Structure 1
Amino acid sequence: MEYHAGERRVQERAGEVQEAEHAGRSIKSEIPEVAARFLIERRMVVVGAADAEERVWCTALAGPQGFVRADDPTTVRITAGPRPDDPLASVLSTPTRVGMIALDQERRRRMRVNGRAFRVGGGLRVQIDQVYANCPKYIQRRIVEGTDSVSDRHTTTRGTRLTAAQRLLVAAADTFFLATRDTPGDCDASHRGGNPGFVRVRCDQQLSWPDYRGNSMYMSLGNIENAPRAGLLFIDWAQGTLLRLSGTASVDWSAERVAEFPGAHRVVDFTVTDVAETPAALPLRWGPPDYSPANPDARIPS
Protein backbone atom coordinates (compact mmCIF):
# COMPACT_ATOMS: atom_id res chain seq x y z
CA MET A 1 0.00 0.00 0.00
CA GLU A 2 1.37 3.40 -1.01
CA TYR A 3 -0.43 6.45 0.34
CA HIS A 4 -0.76 9.54 -1.83
CA ALA A 5 0.68 12.92 -0.86
CA GLY A 6 -2.51 14.24 0.73
CA GLU A 7 -2.87 11.20 2.97
CA ARG A 8 0.80 11.47 3.95
CA ARG A 9 0.45 15.13 4.93
CA VAL A 10 -2.55 14.42 7.16
CA GLN A 11 -0.90 11.38 8.74
CA GLU A 12 2.20 13.42 9.51
CA ARG A 13 0.21 16.32 10.97
CA ALA A 14 -1.76 13.88 13.13
CA GLY A 15 1.46 12.20 14.26
CA GLU A 16 0.24 8.78 13.14
CA VAL A 17 2.62 7.78 10.34
CA GLN A 18 3.66 4.50 11.97
CA GLU A 19 0.06 3.60 12.74
CA ALA A 20 -0.86 4.32 9.11
CA GLU A 21 1.94 2.07 7.84
CA HIS A 22 0.66 -0.76 10.01
CA ALA A 23 -3.00 -0.22 9.03
CA GLY A 24 -2.09 -0.06 5.34
CA ARG A 25 -1.01 -3.70 5.40
CA SER A 26 -4.67 -4.69 5.68
CA ILE A 27 -5.50 -3.22 2.27
CA LYS A 28 -5.73 -5.90 -0.42
CA SER A 29 -6.04 -5.86 -4.20
CA GLU A 30 -8.09 -9.07 -4.15
CA ILE A 31 -11.20 -10.00 -2.19
CA PRO A 32 -10.47 -12.47 0.64
CA GLU A 33 -12.90 -15.32 1.16
CA VAL A 34 -14.16 -13.83 4.42
CA ALA A 35 -14.88 -10.55 2.62
CA ALA A 36 -16.77 -12.38 -0.14
CA ARG A 37 -18.99 -14.00 2.49
CA PHE A 38 -19.53 -10.61 4.11
CA LEU A 39 -20.62 -9.01 0.83
CA ILE A 40 -23.15 -11.67 -0.12
CA GLU A 41 -25.01 -11.12 3.17
CA ARG A 42 -25.47 -7.39 2.62
CA ARG A 43 -28.76 -5.77 1.63
CA MET A 44 -27.36 -2.28 1.03
CA VAL A 45 -24.15 -0.73 -0.27
CA VAL A 46 -23.15 2.93 -0.47
CA VAL A 47 -21.46 4.22 -3.62
CA GLY A 48 -19.55 7.47 -4.16
CA ALA A 49 -18.46 9.00 -7.48
CA ALA A 50 -18.09 12.32 -9.31
CA ASP A 51 -20.46 13.58 -11.99
CA ALA A 52 -19.63 15.27 -15.29
CA GLU A 53 -19.38 18.65 -13.53
CA GLU A 54 -16.86 17.23 -11.01
CA ARG A 55 -19.41 17.31 -8.19
CA VAL A 56 -18.97 14.39 -5.80
CA TRP A 57 -22.08 12.49 -4.74
CA CYS A 58 -22.83 9.60 -2.42
CA THR A 59 -25.86 7.32 -2.82
CA ALA A 60 -27.18 3.94 -1.66
CA LEU A 61 -28.23 0.81 -3.54
CA ALA A 62 -30.33 -1.93 -1.94
CA GLY A 63 -31.65 -5.40 -2.69
CA PRO A 64 -32.10 -8.87 -1.20
CA GLN A 65 -29.14 -10.79 0.18
CA GLY A 66 -26.99 -11.82 -2.77
CA PHE A 67 -27.62 -8.68 -4.81
CA VAL A 68 -23.98 -7.78 -4.18
CA ARG A 69 -21.39 -10.53 -4.50
CA ALA A 70 -17.82 -11.27 -5.49
CA ASP A 71 -17.80 -12.89 -8.93
CA ASP A 72 -14.08 -13.58 -8.53
CA PRO A 73 -11.21 -12.23 -6.39
CA THR A 74 -11.07 -8.95 -8.34
CA THR A 75 -14.71 -8.32 -9.31
CA VAL A 76 -17.83 -7.32 -7.38
CA ARG A 77 -21.22 -7.63 -9.08
CA ILE A 78 -24.21 -5.54 -7.95
CA THR A 79 -27.58 -6.45 -9.45
CA ALA A 80 -29.12 -3.04 -8.71
CA GLY A 81 -28.54 0.42 -10.03
CA PRO A 82 -29.55 3.94 -9.04
CA ARG A 83 -32.95 5.37 -9.87
CA PRO A 84 -33.10 7.40 -13.10
CA ASP A 85 -33.40 10.63 -11.08
CA ASP A 86 -30.45 9.82 -8.81
CA PRO A 87 -27.52 12.26 -9.19
CA LEU A 88 -25.24 9.31 -10.01
CA ALA A 89 -27.58 7.60 -12.52
CA SER A 90 -25.94 9.01 -15.63
CA VAL A 91 -22.46 8.75 -14.09
CA LEU A 92 -22.81 5.04 -13.39
CA SER A 93 -24.14 4.36 -16.89
CA THR A 94 -20.58 4.69 -18.20
CA PRO A 95 -17.25 3.38 -16.81
CA THR A 96 -16.24 5.48 -13.80
CA ARG A 97 -14.12 5.40 -10.66
CA VAL A 98 -16.13 4.59 -7.51
CA GLY A 99 -15.69 4.16 -3.80
CA MET A 100 -18.03 1.77 -2.00
CA ILE A 101 -18.75 0.82 1.58
CA ALA A 102 -20.79 -2.15 2.77
CA LEU A 103 -22.07 -1.81 6.34
CA ASP A 104 -23.33 -4.51 8.70
CA GLN A 105 -25.05 -2.41 11.34
CA GLU A 106 -26.39 -5.35 13.32
CA ARG A 107 -22.86 -6.69 14.02
CA ARG A 108 -21.03 -3.37 13.69
CA ARG A 109 -18.83 -4.34 10.75
CA ARG A 110 -17.89 -2.49 7.58
CA MET A 111 -15.87 -3.09 4.45
CA ARG A 112 -14.63 -0.60 1.87
CA VAL A 113 -14.08 -1.30 -1.82
CA ASN A 114 -12.52 1.10 -4.32
CA GLY A 115 -12.27 0.51 -8.05
CA ARG A 116 -13.78 1.09 -11.46
CA ALA A 117 -17.49 0.50 -12.12
CA PHE A 118 -19.04 -0.67 -15.40
CA ARG A 119 -22.76 -0.78 -16.15
CA VAL A 120 -24.01 -4.33 -16.77
CA GLY A 121 -27.72 -4.55 -17.51
CA GLY A 122 -29.56 -2.93 -14.62
CA GLY A 123 -26.60 -3.25 -12.26
CA LEU A 124 -22.86 -2.71 -11.93
CA ARG A 125 -19.62 -4.64 -12.20
CA VAL A 126 -16.80 -3.18 -10.12
CA GLN A 127 -13.20 -4.02 -10.92
CA ILE A 128 -11.35 -3.90 -7.60
CA ASP A 129 -8.30 -1.77 -6.80
CA GLN A 130 -8.56 -1.83 -3.00
CA VAL A 131 -10.58 -3.78 -0.44
CA TYR A 132 -10.26 -3.55 3.34
CA ALA A 133 -12.22 -3.72 6.57
CA ASN A 134 -12.52 -1.01 9.22
CA CYS A 135 -12.94 -1.20 12.99
CA PRO A 136 -16.44 -1.21 14.57
CA LYS A 137 -16.09 2.22 16.19
CA TYR A 138 -19.00 4.68 15.90
CA ILE A 139 -21.36 2.21 14.15
CA GLN A 140 -24.85 2.31 15.65
CA ARG A 141 -26.46 -1.12 15.86
CA ARG A 142 -29.62 -1.25 13.76
CA ILE A 143 -31.76 -4.17 12.64
CA VAL A 144 -33.88 -4.31 9.49
CA GLU A 145 -37.45 -4.65 10.74
CA GLY A 146 -39.24 -4.80 7.42
CA THR A 147 -39.43 -3.74 3.81
CA ASP A 148 -41.67 -1.47 1.79
CA SER A 149 -42.21 -1.08 -1.92
CA VAL A 150 -40.32 1.61 -3.80
CA SER A 151 -42.61 3.74 -5.93
CA ASP A 152 -41.76 6.07 -8.78
CA ARG A 153 -44.30 8.53 -7.39
CA HIS A 154 -41.57 9.62 -4.98
CA THR A 155 -39.46 11.88 -7.17
CA THR A 156 -36.12 13.45 -6.37
CA THR A 157 -36.20 17.13 -5.47
CA ARG A 158 -33.12 19.25 -6.15
CA GLY A 159 -31.86 22.46 -4.63
CA THR A 160 -28.82 24.41 -3.53
CA ARG A 161 -29.73 24.93 0.12
CA LEU A 162 -31.11 22.76 2.91
CA THR A 163 -34.78 23.15 3.70
CA ALA A 164 -35.96 23.40 7.30
CA ALA A 165 -36.97 19.71 7.27
CA GLN A 166 -33.63 18.69 5.81
CA ARG A 167 -31.77 20.67 8.46
CA LEU A 168 -33.71 18.78 11.13
CA LEU A 169 -32.82 15.42 9.55
CA VAL A 170 -29.12 16.30 9.48
CA ALA A 171 -29.10 17.71 13.02
CA ALA A 172 -30.72 14.53 14.38
CA ALA A 173 -28.45 12.14 12.45
CA ASP A 174 -26.24 9.60 14.20
CA THR A 175 -24.76 8.29 10.94
CA PHE A 176 -23.83 9.57 7.51
CA PHE A 177 -21.61 8.53 4.63
CA LEU A 178 -18.84 10.60 3.09
CA ALA A 179 -17.58 10.33 -0.50
CA THR A 180 -14.30 11.98 -1.51
CA ARG A 181 -12.09 11.99 -4.57
CA ASP A 182 -8.35 12.34 -5.05
CA THR A 183 -6.89 14.63 -7.72
CA PRO A 184 -6.33 11.78 -10.26
CA GLY A 185 -9.99 10.78 -9.84
CA ASP A 186 -9.80 7.80 -7.47
CA CYS A 187 -12.88 7.75 -5.21
CA ASP A 188 -13.51 6.62 -1.67
CA ALA A 189 -16.65 6.16 0.43
CA SER A 190 -16.53 6.07 4.23
CA HIS A 191 -18.82 5.98 7.27
CA ARG A 192 -19.15 8.62 9.98
CA GLY A 193 -21.06 8.05 13.20
CA GLY A 194 -21.70 9.64 16.57
CA ASN A 195 -24.49 10.50 18.97
CA PRO A 196 -27.32 12.65 17.56
CA GLY A 197 -26.12 16.22 17.30
CA PHE A 198 -22.56 15.35 16.30
CA VAL A 199 -23.25 17.02 12.94
CA ARG A 200 -23.86 20.74 13.50
CA VAL A 201 -26.04 22.66 11.05
CA ARG A 202 -24.68 26.21 11.08
CA CYS A 203 -27.01 27.51 8.36
CA ASP A 204 -28.74 26.21 5.25
CA GLN A 205 -25.40 25.81 3.44
CA GLN A 206 -22.90 25.13 6.23
CA LEU A 207 -22.34 21.94 8.25
CA SER A 208 -19.57 20.89 10.65
CA TRP A 209 -18.71 17.61 12.31
CA PRO A 210 -15.94 16.27 14.57
CA ASP A 211 -13.28 13.96 13.22
CA TYR A 212 -12.79 11.26 15.83
CA ARG A 213 -9.82 8.92 16.19
CA GLY A 214 -10.00 6.23 13.49
CA ASN A 215 -7.73 3.81 11.66
CA SER A 216 -4.92 6.37 11.05
CA MET A 217 -5.00 5.96 7.26
CA TYR A 218 -6.87 9.25 6.70
CA MET A 219 -8.07 8.36 3.22
CA SER A 220 -11.05 10.72 3.34
CA LEU A 221 -9.15 13.63 4.90
CA GLY A 222 -6.20 12.96 2.60
CA ASN A 223 -8.47 13.28 -0.42
CA ILE A 224 -9.93 16.50 0.98
CA GLU A 225 -6.38 17.77 1.47
CA ASN A 226 -5.81 17.38 -2.29
CA ALA A 227 -9.30 18.01 -3.67
CA PRO A 228 -11.98 19.62 -1.47
CA ARG A 229 -15.07 18.43 -3.32
CA ALA A 230 -17.07 15.86 -1.36
CA GLY A 231 -20.51 14.25 -1.12
CA LEU A 232 -22.59 13.34 1.93
CA LEU A 233 -25.43 10.84 2.28
CA PHE A 234 -27.93 10.97 5.15
CA ILE A 235 -30.56 8.23 5.46
CA ASP A 236 -33.90 8.37 7.23
CA TRP A 237 -33.66 4.80 8.54
CA ALA A 238 -37.35 4.52 9.42
CA GLN A 239 -38.64 5.82 6.07
CA GLY A 240 -35.89 4.90 3.58
CA THR A 241 -35.42 8.51 2.46
CA LEU A 242 -32.07 9.47 0.91
CA LEU A 243 -30.70 12.98 1.42
CA ARG A 244 -27.62 13.54 -0.74
CA LEU A 245 -25.47 16.65 -0.46
CA SER A 246 -22.63 17.73 -2.72
CA GLY A 247 -20.20 20.53 -1.93
CA THR A 248 -16.74 21.29 -0.62
CA ALA A 249 -15.01 20.28 2.60
CA SER A 250 -12.09 21.62 4.61
CA VAL A 251 -10.38 20.52 7.82
CA ASP A 252 -9.82 22.83 10.80
CA TRP A 253 -7.05 21.72 13.18
CA SER A 254 -7.26 24.69 15.54
CA ALA A 255 -7.60 24.04 19.26
CA GLU A 256 -10.49 26.51 19.44
CA ARG A 257 -12.59 24.60 16.95
CA VAL A 258 -11.66 21.17 18.30
CA ALA A 259 -12.81 22.31 21.75
CA GLU A 260 -16.33 22.79 20.35
CA PHE A 261 -16.75 19.03 19.88
CA PRO A 262 -16.13 16.52 22.70
CA GLY A 263 -13.82 13.75 21.53
CA ALA A 264 -12.73 15.56 18.36
CA HIS A 265 -9.21 15.56 16.99
CA ARG A 266 -10.10 17.88 14.11
CA VAL A 267 -13.25 19.55 12.73
CA VAL A 268 -14.51 19.18 9.17
CA ASP A 269 -16.49 22.07 7.68
CA PHE A 270 -18.72 21.42 4.69
CA THR A 271 -20.30 23.94 2.32
CA VAL A 272 -23.41 22.71 0.53
CA THR A 273 -23.69 23.54 -3.17
CA ASP A 274 -26.24 20.94 -4.34
CA VAL A 275 -29.00 18.96 -2.63
CA ALA A 276 -30.94 15.92 -3.88
CA GLU A 277 -33.61 14.27 -1.70
CA THR A 278 -35.66 11.18 -2.58
CA PRO A 279 -38.40 10.08 -0.16
CA ALA A 280 -38.73 6.30 0.38
CA ALA A 281 -35.91 5.60 -2.08
CA LEU A 282 -34.83 2.43 -0.24
CA PRO A 283 -37.09 -0.58 0.37
CA LEU A 284 -35.51 -1.38 3.76
CA ARG A 285 -36.87 -0.13 7.08
CA TRP A 286 -34.62 -0.16 10.13
CA GLY A 287 -35.50 -0.13 13.81
CA PRO A 288 -34.20 2.32 16.43
CA PRO A 289 -30.46 2.53 17.07
CA ASP A 290 -28.33 1.09 19.82
CA TYR A 291 -25.62 3.73 19.96
CA SER A 292 -21.99 2.72 19.78
CA PRO A 293 -20.20 2.75 23.14
CA ALA A 294 -17.31 4.47 21.33
CA ASN A 295 -19.41 7.57 20.57
CA PRO A 296 -18.24 10.70 22.43
CA ASP A 297 -20.86 12.94 23.96
CA ALA A 298 -22.15 15.28 21.26
CA ARG A 299 -23.23 18.04 23.63
CA ILE A 300 -21.48 21.39 23.44
CA PRO A 301 -19.17 21.78 26.47
CA SER A 302 -20.38 24.37 29.00
Structure 2
Amino acid sequence: MTAAGLPMEIRAEGLPTRVRIHEVGARDGLQNEQTVVPTEVKAEFIHRLADAGLPTVEATSFVHPKWVPQLADAERLFPLLGDLDPHRLPVLVPNERGLDRALALGARRIAVFASATESFAKANLNRTVDEALAMFAPVVARAKDAKVHVRGYLSMCFGDPWEGPVPLAQTVRVCRELLELGCDELSLGDTIGVATPGHVQHLLASLNEAGVPSSRLGVHFHDTYGQALANTLAALQHGVTTVDASAGGLGGCPYAKSATGNLATEDLVWMLHGLGIETGVDLDRLVATSVWMAEALGRPSPSRTLRALSHKE
Protein backbone atom coordinates (compact mmCIF):
# COMPACT_ATOMS: atom_id res chain seq x y z
CA MET A 1 0.00 0.00 0.00
CA THR A 2 1.39 3.39 -0.95
CA ALA A 3 1.31 6.49 1.23
CA ALA A 4 -1.69 7.62 -0.83
CA GLY A 5 -3.52 4.56 0.52
CA LEU A 6 -3.23 5.63 4.15
CA PRO A 7 -5.57 8.06 5.93
CA MET A 8 -4.25 11.30 7.34
CA GLU A 9 -4.24 11.02 11.14
CA ILE A 10 -6.10 13.86 12.82
CA ARG A 11 -7.34 13.21 16.34
CA ALA A 12 -10.72 14.40 17.49
CA GLU A 13 -11.41 15.44 21.06
CA GLY A 14 -13.04 13.06 23.51
CA LEU A 15 -12.11 9.77 21.84
CA PRO A 16 -10.24 6.78 23.28
CA THR A 17 -6.57 6.34 22.40
CA ARG A 18 -6.99 2.63 21.67
CA VAL A 19 -9.88 0.42 20.52
CA ARG A 20 -10.09 -3.35 20.68
CA ILE A 21 -11.63 -4.79 17.54
CA HIS A 22 -13.57 -7.98 18.21
CA GLU A 23 -13.40 -9.79 14.87
CA VAL A 24 -16.52 -11.85 14.11
CA GLY A 25 -16.06 -12.76 10.45
CA ALA A 26 -15.05 -16.38 10.99
CA ARG A 27 -18.14 -17.08 13.10
CA ASP A 28 -20.88 -14.52 12.53
CA GLY A 29 -19.81 -14.03 8.93
CA LEU A 30 -19.35 -17.60 7.76
CA GLN A 31 -22.44 -18.92 9.56
CA ASN A 32 -24.54 -17.08 6.98
CA GLU A 33 -22.92 -18.62 3.93
CA GLN A 34 -25.19 -20.67 1.70
CA THR A 35 -22.49 -23.28 1.25
CA VAL A 36 -20.26 -24.82 3.90
CA VAL A 37 -16.71 -23.42 3.88
CA PRO A 38 -14.08 -26.18 4.26
CA THR A 39 -12.61 -26.47 7.75
CA GLU A 40 -9.06 -25.94 6.49
CA VAL A 41 -10.11 -22.69 4.79
CA LYS A 42 -11.71 -21.46 8.02
CA ALA A 43 -8.53 -22.30 9.95
CA GLU A 44 -6.39 -20.38 7.48
CA PHE A 45 -8.81 -17.44 7.59
CA ILE A 46 -8.52 -17.27 11.38
CA HIS A 47 -4.73 -17.56 11.28
CA ARG A 48 -4.54 -14.76 8.70
CA LEU A 49 -6.80 -12.53 10.81
CA ALA A 50 -4.67 -13.16 13.89
CA ASP A 51 -1.50 -12.46 11.89
CA ALA A 52 -3.04 -9.14 10.81
CA GLY A 53 -3.03 -8.13 14.47
CA LEU A 54 -6.66 -8.59 15.44
CA PRO A 55 -6.56 -9.24 19.21
CA THR A 56 -9.71 -11.37 19.37
CA VAL A 57 -10.98 -13.50 16.50
CA GLU A 58 -14.25 -15.26 17.21
CA ALA A 59 -13.56 -18.76 15.95
CA THR A 60 -16.75 -20.81 15.85
CA SER A 61 -19.98 -21.76 17.57
CA PHE A 62 -20.76 -24.90 19.56
CA VAL A 63 -24.42 -24.98 18.61
CA HIS A 64 -26.21 -28.09 17.39
CA PRO A 65 -25.28 -28.75 13.73
CA LYS A 66 -28.99 -28.88 12.87
CA TRP A 67 -29.35 -25.17 13.59
CA VAL A 68 -26.13 -23.84 12.07
CA PRO A 69 -24.73 -26.49 9.71
CA GLN A 70 -22.06 -24.07 8.46
CA LEU A 71 -20.35 -24.35 11.87
CA ALA A 72 -20.88 -28.07 12.45
CA ASP A 73 -17.11 -28.62 12.29
CA ALA A 74 -16.28 -26.85 15.58
CA GLU A 75 -14.62 -29.96 17.05
CA ARG A 76 -12.41 -30.32 13.96
CA LEU A 77 -11.66 -26.61 13.59
CA PHE A 78 -10.61 -25.63 17.11
CA PRO A 79 -7.67 -28.10 17.33
CA LEU A 80 -6.32 -26.63 14.07
CA LEU A 81 -5.90 -23.34 15.96
CA GLY A 82 -3.75 -24.85 18.71
CA ASP A 83 -0.79 -22.61 17.91
CA LEU A 84 -2.89 -19.52 18.77
CA ASP A 85 -3.58 -18.28 22.30
CA PRO A 86 -7.08 -19.56 23.20
CA HIS A 87 -7.70 -16.28 25.04
CA ARG A 88 -7.76 -14.69 21.55
CA LEU A 89 -10.36 -17.16 20.22
CA PRO A 90 -13.85 -16.63 21.65
CA VAL A 91 -16.50 -19.24 20.82
CA LEU A 92 -20.28 -19.07 21.02
CA VAL A 93 -22.06 -21.56 23.30
CA PRO A 94 -25.88 -21.81 23.45
CA ASN A 95 -26.27 -24.04 26.51
CA GLU A 96 -24.43 -26.30 28.96
CA ARG A 97 -23.84 -28.97 26.32
CA GLY A 98 -22.15 -26.38 24.12
CA LEU A 99 -20.07 -25.24 27.08
CA ASP A 100 -18.97 -28.83 27.75
CA ARG A 101 -17.83 -29.18 24.13
CA ALA A 102 -15.95 -25.87 24.22
CA LEU A 103 -14.21 -26.51 27.54
CA ALA A 104 -13.16 -30.01 26.42
CA LEU A 105 -11.19 -28.39 23.60
CA GLY A 106 -9.55 -25.77 25.83
CA ALA A 107 -11.64 -22.70 25.01
CA ARG A 108 -10.92 -19.79 27.38
CA ARG A 109 -13.41 -17.21 26.11
CA ILE A 110 -17.06 -18.02 25.50
CA ALA A 111 -20.13 -16.03 24.54
CA VAL A 112 -23.85 -16.50 25.15
CA PHE A 113 -26.45 -15.02 22.83
CA ALA A 114 -29.53 -13.32 24.30
CA SER A 115 -32.24 -11.06 22.89
CA ALA A 116 -33.76 -7.79 24.05
CA THR A 117 -37.10 -8.71 22.43
CA GLU A 118 -39.52 -11.58 22.88
CA SER A 119 -40.03 -12.08 19.14
CA PHE A 120 -36.36 -12.62 18.39
CA ALA A 121 -35.85 -14.76 21.50
CA LYS A 122 -38.60 -17.02 20.17
CA ALA A 123 -37.18 -17.08 16.63
CA ASN A 124 -33.56 -17.57 17.65
CA LEU A 125 -33.81 -19.67 20.82
CA ASN A 126 -37.43 -20.88 20.89
CA ARG A 127 -37.72 -19.37 24.38
CA THR A 128 -38.94 -16.21 26.05
CA VAL A 129 -36.35 -13.64 27.07
CA ASP A 130 -36.53 -14.77 30.70
CA GLU A 131 -36.40 -18.45 29.78
CA ALA A 132 -33.26 -17.80 27.75
CA LEU A 133 -31.65 -15.96 30.65
CA ALA A 134 -32.50 -18.88 32.93
CA MET A 135 -30.87 -21.24 30.45
CA PHE A 136 -27.71 -19.13 30.39
CA ALA A 137 -27.41 -18.84 34.19
CA PRO A 138 -25.68 -22.21 34.76
CA VAL A 139 -23.59 -21.76 31.61
CA VAL A 140 -22.18 -18.46 32.85
CA ALA A 141 -21.74 -19.75 36.40
CA ARG A 142 -19.82 -22.84 35.29
CA ALA A 143 -17.69 -20.82 32.88
CA LYS A 144 -16.75 -18.38 35.64
CA ASP A 145 -15.92 -21.27 37.97
CA ALA A 146 -13.53 -22.48 35.25
CA LYS A 147 -12.04 -18.95 35.05
CA VAL A 148 -13.29 -18.54 31.49
CA HIS A 149 -14.11 -15.05 30.17
CA VAL A 150 -17.81 -14.65 29.31
CA ARG A 151 -19.26 -12.24 26.76
CA GLY A 152 -22.98 -11.65 26.58
CA TYR A 153 -24.35 -10.84 23.15
CA LEU A 154 -27.63 -8.97 23.14
CA SER A 155 -29.53 -8.84 19.84
CA MET A 156 -32.21 -6.36 18.79
CA CYS A 157 -31.04 -3.60 21.13
CA PHE A 158 -32.36 -0.86 18.88
CA GLY A 159 -35.04 -2.31 16.63
CA ASP A 160 -36.79 -5.60 15.90
CA PRO A 161 -38.32 -6.64 12.53
CA TRP A 162 -41.48 -7.88 14.28
CA GLU A 163 -41.80 -5.42 17.16
CA GLY A 164 -40.35 -2.22 15.72
CA PRO A 165 -38.28 0.24 17.82
CA VAL A 166 -37.16 -1.28 21.11
CA PRO A 167 -37.78 0.79 24.27
CA LEU A 168 -34.55 1.80 26.00
CA ALA A 169 -35.72 0.42 29.34
CA GLN A 170 -36.31 -2.99 27.78
CA THR A 171 -32.74 -3.23 26.53
CA VAL A 172 -31.34 -1.87 29.80
CA ARG A 173 -33.20 -4.50 31.82
CA VAL A 174 -31.77 -7.43 29.87
CA CYS A 175 -28.27 -5.91 29.92
CA ARG A 176 -28.39 -5.62 33.70
CA GLU A 177 -29.60 -9.21 34.04
CA LEU A 178 -26.78 -10.53 31.84
CA LEU A 179 -24.22 -8.71 33.99
CA GLU A 180 -25.88 -10.01 37.15
CA LEU A 181 -25.51 -13.54 35.76
CA GLY A 182 -21.75 -12.88 35.69
CA CYS A 183 -20.96 -11.80 32.13
CA ASP A 184 -17.65 -9.94 31.91
CA GLU A 185 -18.72 -7.79 28.97
CA LEU A 186 -21.76 -7.16 26.81
CA SER A 187 -22.03 -6.62 23.07
CA LEU A 188 -24.95 -4.39 22.08
CA GLY A 189 -26.29 -5.65 18.76
CA ASP A 190 -28.06 -3.54 16.16
CA THR A 191 -29.13 -6.74 14.45
CA ILE A 192 -31.16 -5.17 11.64
CA GLY A 193 -29.09 -2.00 11.33
CA VAL A 194 -31.75 0.58 12.22
CA ALA A 195 -29.86 2.52 14.90
CA THR A 196 -28.78 6.12 14.42
CA PRO A 197 -26.14 8.03 16.42
CA GLY A 198 -28.59 9.79 18.72
CA HIS A 199 -30.27 6.50 19.57
CA VAL A 200 -26.86 4.99 20.34
CA GLN A 201 -25.93 7.87 22.64
CA HIS A 202 -29.26 7.70 24.49
CA LEU A 203 -29.04 3.95 25.04
CA LEU A 204 -25.48 4.22 26.34
CA ALA A 205 -26.47 7.07 28.64
CA SER A 206 -29.42 5.03 29.94
CA LEU A 207 -27.14 2.06 30.60
CA ASN A 208 -24.65 4.26 32.45
CA GLU A 209 -27.46 5.71 34.58
CA ALA A 210 -28.53 2.15 35.40
CA GLY A 211 -25.05 1.33 36.67
CA VAL A 212 -23.62 -0.29 33.53
CA PRO A 213 -20.29 1.39 32.70
CA SER A 214 -19.18 1.88 29.11
CA SER A 215 -16.02 -0.08 29.95
CA ARG A 216 -18.17 -3.24 30.14
CA LEU A 217 -19.78 -2.62 26.75
CA GLY A 218 -18.97 -3.37 23.15
CA VAL A 219 -21.03 -2.43 20.09
CA HIS A 220 -22.04 -4.60 17.15
CA PHE A 221 -23.52 -2.60 14.28
CA HIS A 222 -24.94 -3.80 10.99
CA ASP A 223 -24.74 -1.50 7.98
CA THR A 224 -28.25 -2.02 6.58
CA TYR A 225 -28.89 1.73 6.28
CA GLY A 226 -25.26 2.83 6.01
CA GLN A 227 -25.14 3.95 9.66
CA ALA A 228 -22.59 1.53 11.16
CA LEU A 229 -19.55 3.84 11.14
CA ALA A 230 -21.56 6.85 12.35
CA ASN A 231 -23.01 4.76 15.15
CA THR A 232 -19.56 3.47 16.05
CA LEU A 233 -18.21 7.01 16.31
CA ALA A 234 -21.13 7.94 18.57
CA ALA A 235 -20.27 4.98 20.82
CA LEU A 236 -16.58 5.94 20.93
CA GLN A 237 -17.54 9.46 21.95
CA HIS A 238 -19.43 7.89 24.85
CA GLY A 239 -16.40 5.95 26.05
CA VAL A 240 -16.91 2.54 24.43
CA THR A 241 -13.57 0.96 23.45
CA THR A 242 -14.65 -2.45 22.08
CA VAL A 243 -16.13 -2.65 18.60
CA ASP A 244 -17.28 -5.77 16.76
CA ALA A 245 -16.55 -5.98 13.05
CA SER A 246 -16.35 -8.58 10.31
CA ALA A 247 -13.51 -8.88 7.81
CA GLY A 248 -14.79 -7.96 4.38
CA GLY A 249 -18.22 -7.13 5.80
CA LEU A 250 -19.25 -10.79 5.93
CA GLY A 251 -22.41 -11.80 7.74
CA GLY A 252 -25.91 -10.91 8.78
CA CYS A 253 -28.31 -12.96 10.85
CA PRO A 254 -29.97 -16.23 9.74
CA TYR A 255 -33.03 -15.56 11.92
CA ALA A 256 -33.71 -11.96 10.84
CA LYS A 257 -34.20 -11.65 7.09
CA SER A 258 -33.79 -7.86 7.13
CA ALA A 259 -30.31 -8.10 8.68
CA THR A 260 -27.60 -7.38 6.14
CA GLY A 261 -23.86 -7.41 6.59
CA ASN A 262 -21.82 -6.50 9.61
CA LEU A 263 -19.62 -3.44 9.80
CA ALA A 264 -16.57 -4.24 7.65
CA THR A 265 -13.37 -4.43 9.69
CA GLU A 266 -11.42 -2.62 6.95
CA ASP A 267 -13.82 0.32 7.00
CA LEU A 268 -13.58 0.49 10.78
CA VAL A 269 -9.77 0.33 10.80
CA TRP A 270 -9.55 3.07 8.17
CA MET A 271 -11.69 5.39 10.31
CA LEU A 272 -9.91 4.56 13.56
CA HIS A 273 -6.44 5.00 12.10
CA GLY A 274 -7.52 8.29 10.55
CA LEU A 275 -8.55 9.41 14.04
CA GLY A 276 -5.16 8.40 15.42
CA ILE A 277 -6.70 5.58 17.47
CA GLU A 278 -4.48 2.55 17.98
CA THR A 279 -5.83 -0.88 17.03
CA GLY A 280 -2.74 -3.04 16.54
CA VAL A 281 -4.14 -4.06 13.14
CA ASP A 282 -2.03 -4.10 9.97
CA LEU A 283 -4.47 -2.81 7.35
CA ASP A 284 -2.43 -4.19 4.43
CA ARG A 285 -2.55 -7.71 5.84
CA LEU A 286 -6.22 -7.38 6.71
CA VAL A 287 -7.12 -6.27 3.18
CA ALA A 288 -5.09 -9.12 1.69
CA THR A 289 -6.89 -11.58 3.98
CA SER A 290 -10.35 -10.33 3.03
CA VAL A 291 -9.49 -10.35 -0.67
CA TRP A 292 -8.33 -13.95 -0.27
CA MET A 293 -11.56 -14.94 1.51
CA ALA A 294 -13.73 -13.15 -1.05
CA GLU A 295 -12.00 -15.17 -3.75
CA ALA A 296 -12.55 -18.38 -1.76
CA LEU A 297 -16.26 -17.52 -1.48
CA GLY A 298 -16.48 -16.56 -5.15
CA ARG A 299 -17.87 -13.06 -4.73
CA PRO A 300 -16.64 -9.51 -4.09
CA SER A 301 -16.56 -7.94 -0.64
CA PRO A 302 -19.00 -5.13 0.23
CA SER A 303 -16.25 -3.28 2.15
CA ARG A 304 -15.63 0.09 0.51
CA THR A 305 -12.14 0.41 2.00
CA LEU A 306 -11.19 -3.05 0.80
CA ARG A 307 -12.37 -2.28 -2.72
CA ALA A 308 -10.54 1.04 -2.76
CA LEU A 309 -7.23 -0.32 -1.47
CA SER A 310 -7.22 -3.63 -3.32
CA HIS A 311 -7.54 -1.79 -6.65
CA LYS A 312 -4.59 0.51 -6.01
CA GLU A 313 -1.45 -0.29 -7.90
TM-score normalised by length of structure 1: 0.29
Normalising by structure 2, report the TM-score.
0.29
Higher helix share: 2
The structure with more strand, counted as a fraction of residues = 1
